[in-house]
A and B are shown apart, each in its own frame.
Chain A
């Protein structure tokens, strides 16, 4: 069956489409994070993924509430980007034979995912602003702030994990 592709007649339609895509992305992250928690060796990294899982569950709830108010329903549209980012990370992680190097690869993949969300949410916030939906702007702002924080936390863990990965080579 060929899916009917909706046209985008106005900014509101683009806004709804991208909200539904991000909803799918966040749902994929909720499914993917437990595997990342399990794969990570570093305790702090495990914890960071764990708390980001809880945050992401809240992001899903927020998006659902925005969509329900706006469109009367919150139906995700499968986000292929997230699927490809997860696949790319899985491939890289599986090719890593040393645990510390694997943690570094996990962080690299997770940061690409964070940045995707920051960009997607940033665009949505802009659309909400143009459309005069100030409550949505505030909600999206909160999510962007949390994604930014998660990204920074990963950078600080990477600073510590990478030297460990370097020692892996020497050992």
Chain B
């Protein structure tokens, strides 16, 4: 796609996010399964449900602008998830693996925060206020998910010290 306007850049970035969210819905169940801490499992499962809603929200936005959500693979998210999966596999089950999962999860959240921040700004600038509000909602959820992981990491930290 030739990107010669902000409208097209907006669509291109939305497609990127749509692919990223799909990849995340596939990765989260594996992360939850690999986690030992119940609180971490719960946080990841909760975020899976949220992510499914975020996919629907993006579909709704694509419908509003009359575009197809498909056609792009988000290489950035692919890289983030691959690195996370590697650390997860290299650590044995337990607190260290949990720490690796949290560190990977927070990289995923930050990728999304940057990407949603970008498309929300574009939507505002393009005068698409309703879409901007939908994107803002997801952005807030991603920030909350990141903070939740920080809270869980404090708990896991105590387990690491006990295990040491």
Contact = CB atoms under 8 A, between A and B. Distances in A.
A73 interface: no
Contact of A11 (B2, B16, B78, B160): B160
B1 to A, nearest CB: 6
Contacts of A116: 80, 107, 110-111
B102 A80 contact: no
A79 B3 CA distance: 29
Nearest to B107: A119
B96 A10 contact: yes
A143 to B, nearest CB: 15
A22 to B, nearest CB: 11
Given A92-B12, A95-B2, A169-B7, A8 B106 contact: no
Which of under 10, 10 to 19, 20 to 34, or 35 or more describes the interface residues of A? 35 or more
A98 B5 contact: yes
Interface in A61-100: 79-85, 87-88, 91-92, 95-98
Given A95-B1, A165-B6, A168-B5, A80 B79 contact: yes
Contacts of B23: none
Q: Which among A11, A107, A111, A158 has the greatest number of chain B C-beta atoms within 10 A?
A: A11
Contacts of A11: 95-96, 99, 160, 164
Nearest to A100: B6
Contacts of A111: 114, 117-118
Contact of B76 (A14, A84, A163): A84
Contacts of B82: 80-81
Contacts of A162: 6, 121-122, 125
A91 B74 CA distance: 11
B3 A14 contact: no
Nearest to A129: B157
B96 A84 contact: no
Contact of B153 (A96, A126, A166): A126
Given A80-B83, A130-B161, 15 more contacts: A7-B91, A8-B87, A8-B97, A9-B96, A14-B99, A87-B75, A88-B76, A92-B12, A95-B12, A101-B8, A111-B118, A115-B113, A126-B99, A130-B157, A151-B114
Interface of B: 1-9, 12-13, 16, 74-76, 78-80, 82-83, 86-87, 90-92, 95-97, 99-100, 102-103, 106-107, 109-111, 113-115, 117-118, 121-122, 125-126, 146, 150, 153, 157, 160-161, 164
17 contacts: A5-B86, A8-B91, A80-B79, A81-B79, A84-B80, A85-B76, A88-B74, A92-B9, A104-B122, A105-B3, A105-B9, A108-B114, A114-B114, A119-B111, A120-B107, A155-B117, A158-B118
